Structures are given as C-alpha cells and as structure tokens.
Structure 1
Amino acid sequence: MPLPTDLIPPQAVNLAVRAVYALPAPVRRLIAGRQVSRDGQRLAPEAQLLLALMKLENTGLRDERVDLARRRLERGQRLIQGRPVGAGSTRALTVPNGDHPIPARLYTPAGLPSGSPLLVYYHGGGFVLGSIDSHDSLCRELAVTAAVRVLSVGYRLAPEHPFPAAADDALAAYEYAVKNAESFGADPGAVAVGGDSAGGNLAAVVGRTAEPAPAFALLFYPATDLSGHRRSRELFAEGFYLTDPDMTWFSDHYIPQERRTEPNASPLLADDLGGFPPTYLATAGFDPLRDEGEEFAHRLADAGVPVVLRRHEDLIHGFANMGALGGRFAEAVSEAAGALRMGLAMARPAGPSGLDDPA
C-alpha cells in the first residue's frame, strides 16, 4: 500500500528541499515563520525551516502500522540527504550471534592506516525504526571527519524482537568488533561505541557492561530512562519532530512496563557507572530527551568518568542525521566527530574527570 507522499519521487523532494535551503536567509526565515523560543532557548532557523517542511511531507514517526512508519522514516532520510561523503570503501558483514546473525556495514576512509581506531555505531529509531541505510550518511561523515573505521550495526527491531534483543545484539556486535579489529585493520585497544537516540541507549548499555570496556563513547541525545518522564518531555511534547506520544509508542513496542527500570533498558538507573568509558554526550535544546541525557552525563561525572556534555540549545532531536542540510546541523555533527577523534587519541592515557556543562 503506497503512502500518499510516495507518489512524489524522493529525489524530486530532495531537490526541492535543498533548493529551499539555498535561498537567501531572509527568504528562509519568511518560510519558517516567526522565531520559536522556549525555556530560554531560540530555535535555529535551519531547524525551524525543516519542521515547516516536515509538516508538508507528513513525516511523523509513528503509525498504526509499523511497516509504514519504517518506510516513512527511510523516505524522510532520503529527502534531506546530500551527496554521499566518499568514505573510501564500504563492506557488508554479518556478525555471528547464535540463531540471530546481525547485518553490519564497515566504513573504511581512504588512506586510513592500519591500527587506527574503530567506532561501533548503533542507529536511532526508537528500537522500532531505522536501519544501516537510514544512517549511512552519518556513518560516512563520522568515518571521514574523525578518521576512524565505523562498523554500523543492524540490530534486531521491536516489536518483532522486543527487549532485550537489541541490547543483546549491540553487545555481541561490540565483542565481535574487538575480537576482529585487527582483521578490519583497526586497533583492538581503540574500539569506541556510539549511537543516537535509541542507538545512544544501546551504546550506553554496552559502555556499562562490556569487557573490555570501550575506549570512548559518542552519544547523541540518548534515551537513558524508559521508565519515567522529565521536564523536557513535557516542554517539548509536541511540534519538534520527536514527540512525547512517539516516545510512548516506541517504548510500548520495545519493552513491557515492568522491565523498564532494568539497567540494560534504562542505563541512567544503574547503581554504578564508574567503569564507563570517557564520553562526549550531545543533547538538543528542543528535545523531549534532553533532560535524561544530561542527567546521565552528570551521573557519569559524579562517578569520576571524563565526560563532555554539549547542549546544542537551538537544535531538535535527530540533528545528527540532518548534517547534509548544512548550517547548525553540519556544525554539530562536525563538532561531535572532532570530539570522537580527540577522545580516541586521549582515551588510553588516564585523564581528569569532570564535566563541561552546557550552562
């Protein structure tokens, strides 16, 4: 059954979106409408314009039919993608995991020497949506900008595979990456984990439980507590791409209520985070998940973990996948890639603990 918007080829819509973003700034501001302010923050014009265009495309995240929601997300990514970043080479892999082999994709930047770091990356999508393909552009950008190999992991999705399937796959993929790092041309002592949203949750679970611990963690607006709501969940409940009803829909598909306090579902609730790797954690100001991500960063700092917390107060949830639109989106992704590159360079020597706070 085609979606109504499927009648318009995504390539055509992509060209239209990119044409809008190429307009002079005053024209873009006119299309986006009056600037939005909330909680002492001002929404970036690029983000406000994208939200206006999303309304035209009807790119909501949830649907009564999961298959339609998945198609809509994949189409939405094609609408905003730019020319693919040349990542050198890509290779499809299968990570063995008992009866559930895990598809993966290895990105190797051109000219990257042997013994370089490796990032194991888990895509976002609320544990229900998303794929290796939906996050292809982001993984390419991280690989090239941070000068790392990236192993993108296609973990099992709910509701077909509810908790703890995704967490089990995430850990299995990390362990496989460490074991096979040398065959990838990477340093087994410099394997990092990363992810966005639900993928950030999985990266946090792996960071807390894996042995050996990852060398570094790159977390974009992670979901860290599936059991409760914080102030940002109410402040940004509607109108900023990810909504409060979306989060409820995702959680209800992924995990029963009675298991949501388990640390492998809600890493913020773990008793001890002292063994967590050095971390760069980025949040968005206009994001229902903002406060729980920042609370996780503070808990890491309290446990003595070196952590940088960066709030992009003018951006929305999902900004890591919006870098092709340029402006603040591209700046935020570039900053994260730089932090990953620096963090991996400094991860093995002991560093000071503490927190760079967004305030």
Structure 2
Amino acid sequence: MQLTPEINLILNHLQKIQTFNAKDSLDDIRKYLETMSFQLSGKKEAVSVIEELEIPYGNRQIPLRVYYPKGKMTQHSSAVIYIHGGWFMAGGYETHDAVARKLANTTGSVIFFINYRLAPEHPFPAGLDDCLDASKWIIEQSESLGIDRNRIGIIGDSAGGALATAVSTQIGELLKFQILIYPASDNQLNSTSWSTYENGPVLTREGGIQAWKWYLPRKEENNPLAVPALMKDFRSTPSTLVILAEHDPLSDDGRKLAENMENAGVSVQVSLYKDMVHGFMHMGEILNEVQTAVNEMASFAIRNLEAENLD
C-alpha cells in the first residue's frame, strides 16, 4: 500500500489525537471523530444563515440544521438533504459542519442536515426513521421553508450513505438525485478491500464489527433497509453518484452497491478518488481533493436539478 506524503501526514496526526474526559469507549469514539473533524477540516466557509430546528414528528423531535448558501436567500431554492456518517453511532452537526458549508456554497442549495438518533442507544430502525420522517417533512413543508419541492436531492456519507440509500428506495420519486460518499452498505465485511485494509487506514474490521453489532439487532440482519447490499428494488432510486476512496475497506462494497443499482436500471456514475482514505472529506486542511470532490458533487447536483427543470 503506497500512501502519499499528505495521507501519511494525516495518519500520523490521527495516531496522536487524544480525547479528554471520555466516559467510556463509545464516548471516546464520538469525541475522537469530533476532534479529528475539528483539527483536519480546515477553515470553515461563511454562509448566509444557519438555523436549527426541531421537527415535531409523532412523539419525538428530530433535530435539523439548515444552511443557506452565501449571498443567496431567495425563495424556491433548490435543496439538499444531508445524512451524516459515523458508523451509525457517532457524528453530528459539528463533525460535518465544514462539509455542509462547502456544499451549500458550491451547489447554491439550502442544505438540510438531519441529526438523527444514534446507536447503540437507538439501534435500527430509529436513525432511519428519523431520516425518512425528516425528509418527508422537508418535502411537505417546502413552501414554508422557501424551497422548491421539485428540486431536492439527497447526500449521505459512510453510514449516512446506507441511510440515504434506504430513504431513496422509499421516497426517491420525490428526489432528483442521490450522492453516496464511500457508503457503508454491507455488514459482512468480507470483501477484498476489507481483507486488504482490515487494519486501516482510518477504519478497522474490528471497529466495523462492533459498529454493526451496536446498530443492527439480530432480528433485522436480513432487512435490506438496514443493509443496502441486500436491496433488490431500486425502482424509486434517482440518478446517483457514488464517490469512493482508493485506500478504503468500504470501496468494494460501495462499488457493488453501484453495480446493483445500475443493473436495476438506475443511472449511476462512480468516481474513484485515487490515493484517498475513508473520511477524506473531513481532511480539507491538507487535501485538495476535498474541494475537487465538492465541485464534482455540485456539478452532478446542479446538472440533475437543471435537467429536471427543463422537462
């Protein structure tokens, strides 16, 4: 495995990160991701406005952060629903703040970032329920939110890619595009890339096994809404871009998911980022590829939104 000097610099830095006052191993994982994102994401772009909402849904409140792109507060804007990664058990507003800001400004769309419930406190299907119900609410409330309900897409990274895939199979006819960033799509962890990178960089098989164990109750192990590798029905899935990293144990699973979608008739584009590792979207302080990926995602989003507008 040949790694670039930039990636080696990042990996050396990751080994030195220390979390403080962690209550247990789970708290340590969550704080580690927050620290990594804070230290490596780089300078945060200014946006016009950031709002935080609590969506009333059933007997619960779903937290939602809304990013309005810089210099743009127009009515009937396009919108992107963002579902974050973190192995289903970590991540949130602060870990993905820099990425959300970049996407808002580069796409020119309002970003709706869903802060869904996490495992193990809330195993499947709690997180998916939050993502699906919040997505429905955003679409239903589009007029009051100032967005065009006919110009909405969805993006998910890592575990969020699995959740976004599930959301799209349920309401994809209401979405104009889907972007999956190194999606976590299979709980078997038995692909060639998992064998190659079982001890990292960034992710390990041991950590993956624990994450899926916390997230997925045994009775749900064969549920395709939890495990996208098991999905057969993609009839509602919109045009999809899958972004993969070369040195990532999830790369083969992501590529297989893309193949399954394509075989089911979905328009799919796969983009492999050479030399990159899992989570590289959080490493904009050092990696130019972060902006390159954001630009690619924005181009894909805008192209699909404009194509729909012309129909």
TM-score band w.r.t. shorter chain = over 0.9
CA distance in 2, matches of 1:290, 1:127: 18
CA distance in 1, matches of 2:308, 2:205: 36
Query: Where does 1:210-225 land on structure 2 (aligned, <5 Å)?
Result: 210=171, 212-225=173-186
Q: Which moved more, 1:201-210 or 1:253-262?
A: 253-262
Q: Which moved more, 1:182-191 or 1:208-217?
A: 208-217
CA distance in 1, matches of 2:257, 2:52: 33
Q: Deviations over 1:69-99 (max 9, x none)?
A: 2112111211113222111111011122222
Q: CA deviation at 1:64?
A: 5.4
Q: Is the 8 A contact 2:242 2:268 kept in 1?
A: yes
Q: Counterpart in 1 of 2:97? A: 136
**3-state secondary structure, aligned to 2:271:** strand
Q: CA deviation at 1:63?
A: 9.8
1:121 aligns with 2:82: yes
Q: Deviations over 1:196-237 (max 9, x none)?
A: 001111110001112643111111011112245211111111
Q: Which moved more, 1:249-258 or 1:173-182?
A: 249-258
Q: Counterpart in 2 of 1:342? A: 303
Q: Counterpart in 2 of 1:195? A: 156
Q: CA deviation at 1:183?
A: 1.8
Task: Supply the RMSD in Å over aligned alpha carbons.
Answer: 2.0
CA distance in 1, matches of 2:106, 2:265: 29
Which letter does structure 1 place at the counterpart of 2:258? A
Q: 1:147 aligns with which of 83, 90, 108?
A: 108
**3-state secondary structure, aligned to 1:161:** coil
Which letter does structure 1 place at the counterpart of 2:246? G
Query: Highest Rg: 1 or 2?
Result: 1
1:319 aligns with 2:292: no
Which letter does structure 2 place at the counterpart of 1:338? S
Fraction of identical pairs, as percent = 33
Q: CA deviation at 1:132?
A: 1.4
**3-state secondary structure, aligned to 1:101:** strand
Q: CA deviation at 1:66?
A: 1.1
**3-state secondary structure, aligned to 2:60:** coil
**3-state secondary structure, aligned to 1:119:** strand
CA distance in 1, matches of 2:104, 2:68: 7
Q: Is the 8 A contact 1:177 1:191 kept in 2?
A: no
Q: Counterpart in 1 of 2:57? A: 97
Q: Name stretches of at least 5 consecutive residues in structure 2 with no aligned partner.
A: none
Q: Which moved more, 1:105-114 or 1:88-97?
A: 105-114
Q: Counterpart in 1 of 2:292? A: 331
Q: CA deviation at 1:330?
A: 2.8
CA distance in 1, matches of 2:26, 2:65: 24
Q: Counterpart in 2 of 1:264? A: 225
Q: Counterpart in 2 of 1:14? A: none
1:229 aligns with 2:229: no
With structure 1 as the length reference, what TM-score do the two structures score?
A: 0.81
1:69 aligns with 2:38: no
CA distance in 2, matches of 1:116, 1:229: 42
CA distance in 1, matches of 2:222, 2:23: 26
Taking a change above 3 Å as real, the CA distance of residues 294 and 211 of structure 1, as seen in their structure-2 partners, is closer
CA distance in 2, matches of 1:246, 1:341: 36
CA distance in 1, matches of 2:309, 2:190: 36
Q: Counterpart in 2 of 1:162? A: 123
**3-state secondary structure, aligned to 2:122:** coil
Show structure 1 runs of 4+ deviating over 3 A.
347-350
Q: Counterpart in 2 of 1:245? A: 206
Q: CA deviation at 1:259?
A: 1.8
Taking a change above 3 Å as real, the CA distance of residues 245 and 347 of structure 1, as seen in their structure-2 partners, is farther
Which letter does structure 1 place at the counterpart of 2:178? A
Q: Counterpart in 2 of 1:28? A: none
Q: 2:235 aligns with which of 262, 274, 277?
A: 274
CA distance in 2, matches of 1:267, 1:81: 28
Q: Is the 8 A contact 1:104 1:154 kept in 2?
A: yes
1:108 aligns with 2:68: yes
Q: Counterpart in 2 of 1:21? A: none
Q: Deviations over 1:281-300 (max 9, x none)?
A: 10111111101111111111
Q: CA deviation at 1:274?
A: 2.5
Q: Counterpart in 1 of 2:132? A: 171
Q: Counterpart in 2 of 1:49? A: 9
1:291 aligns with 2:252: yes
With structure 2 as the length reference, what TM-score do the two structures score?
A: 0.93
CA distance in 2, matches of 1:220, 1:110: 24
Q: Which moved more, 1:134-143 or 1:76-85?
A: 76-85
Taking a change above 3 Å as real, the CA distance of residues 302 and 347 of structure 1, as seen in their structure-2 partners, is farther
**3-state secondary structure, aligned to 2:165:** helix
Q: Deviations over 1:24-50 (max 9, x none)?
A: xxxxxxxxxxxx42xxxxx34322220
Query: Where does 1:9-24 land on structure 2 (aligned, <5 Å)?
Result: none
Q: Is the 8 A contact 1:274 1:300 kept in 2?
A: no
CA distance in 2, matches of 1:316, 1:218: 18
> Which is bigger in relative contact order (C-alpha 8 A, separation at least 6)?
2
**3-state secondary structure, aligned to 1:288:** coil
CA distance in 1, matches of 2:53, 2:207: 31
Q: CA deviation at 1:348?
A: 5.8
